[in-house]
Amino acid sequence: MTSESRQVDTDPDCLFCKIVAGEIPGDLVLTTDHVVAFRDVNPVAPTHVLVVPRHHRPDAAATTEADPEAVGRLVAAAAEVAGREGLSDYRLVLNTGPGAGQSVFHTHLHLLGGRELAWPPG
């Protein structure tokens, strides 16, 4: 992927861009100027929320390259959602690339909680 293609703010074919834009409904739990958080449609834990930046980047590496503070905003938003959900223990996951389990290529942070989570994951 070229650096130029990594700098696109939205992708008209991206599911998460469509949720961020309100074109596709999502079970939103938090919206800010920088991020949108919504419940995963295929949860693997009682609390499974995806936190996505409003700007489209394919993965965490591209997001960090374009905006070094963006991942920190994702983590801060996830912590806020965890507090609202009553979670004191939770897991944050960023998958980068298909080999790591990424299936939607718009940076997203998984917030998982509400049950005992095994280690190592996967």
Distance in angstroms (rounded) separating the CA atoms of residues 43 and 8? 29
Which residue in the list 55, 56, 106, 108 is annotated as catalytic? Answer: 108
Strand order in the sheet with 28-31: 28-31, 35-39, 47-53, 109-113, 90-94
Task: Let me know if 56 is a catalytic residue.
Answer: no
| Alpha helix (H) residue ranges in 67-122 | 70-84
What's the DSSP call for residue 31?
Answer: E
Give the residue numbers annotated as catalytic, written as ranges: 108
